[in-house]
A and B are shown apart, each in its own frame.
Chain A
Amino acid sequence: MNSAVSSVDAPEVSIARDLARRALLVSPTFLVLGVVLDGVGGIISSGLALALVALNFFLGAQIISRAIAVSLNALYGAVLFGYLIRLGMMAFAVLIVRNAEWFATVPFAITLLITHLGLLIWETKHVSASLAFPGVMPAKPSTDNFQE
């Protein structure tokens, strides 16, 4: 792999950036859901879940893009250890705040699961359409040929 390629241009980093942008787009829905379910605590918990999902994607992408510049074997190890580290990070983050007065489990859990899966499905649809990188949708076929 070419180590000269910067991690900013890496496809997984652009996907993570795209996922974070989409998370921002859908965040009002989940924040409102949090308010409805548990008031101010719900909004903070939903916000925390959104931040954790985005951070998880970013961390995963950074681990891959940095490891792939070293070697393919490093990629294998980094992804598996990165998986453990990211799971541990999420558990640690929740264990810190779970006894706080404002922490609401249900809005947090709903936001975490739906955002993670929903964003991925949305992104996969987009990537499948572009066949290469997110955010680059193929142009619609021109109808000029049919007018001739």
Chain B
Amino acid sequence: MLNVLAETASGEMLEGLKAIGAGLGYGLAAIGPGIGIGTVVGNAISSMARQPESAGMVRTTMFLGIAFTEALALIGFVVFILLLP
């Protein structure tokens, strides 16, 4: 009986730890891209302020840069899905 209780408790604990790990992993994976997107957009804004005539090209590059940076967050998202109990 005690063994069964211990196994159940450890199983629930394992599920809980998995959920915490998934959430932490997703959160941590989102920090890096957040910093990266800030850098990309900050530099794009500087460029557009200095040379408004090149805004079209800067916006194109900025959008692609943002999307590439987001791929890192997506990897964290996939790990989150896979780890969820």
Residues on A lying within 8 angstroms of B by beta carbon are 1, 10-12, 15-16, 56-57, 60-61, 64, 68, 72, 75-76, 79-80, 83, 86-87, 90-91, 94, 98, 105, 108-109, 112-113, 116-117, 120, 123-124, 127, 131-134
In angstroms, Cα B61 to Cα A31, docked, is 30
- Given A11-B59, A98-B84; A120-B41 close (CB under 8 Å): no
In angstroms, Cα B75 to Cα A116, docked, is 10
- Given A72-B49, A109-B78, A117-B71; A123-B64 close (CB under 8 Å): yes
Number of interface residues of B (CB under 8 A): 35
Residue of A nearest to B33 (CB): A83
Contacts of A133 in B (CB 8 A): 56, 60
In angstroms, Cα B67 to Cα A78, docked, is 15
In angstroms, Cα B80 to Cα A48, docked, is 17
Interface of A is mostly: helix
In angstroms, Cα B49 to Cα A108, docked, is 41
- Is A127 a contact of B81 with CB atoms below 8 Å? no
Residue of B nearest to A94 (CB): B81
In angstroms, Cα B41 to Cα A117, docked, is 20
Residues on B lying within 8 angstroms of A by beta carbon are 26, 30, 33-34, 37-38, 41-42, 45, 48-49, 52, 55-57, 59-64, 66-68, 70-71, 73-75, 77-78, 80-82, 84
- Is A72 a contact of B45 with CB atoms below 8 Å? yes
- Is A127 a contact of B37 with CB atoms below 8 Å? no
- Is B64 a contact of A72 with CB atoms below 8 Å? no
Contacts of B42 in A (CB 8 A): 76
With beta carbons under 8 angstroms apart, the residue of B34, B59, B77 that contacts A12 is B59
- Smallest distance from the beta carbon of B26 to chain A beta carbons, Å? 7
- Is B41 a contact of A76 with CB atoms below 8 Å? yes
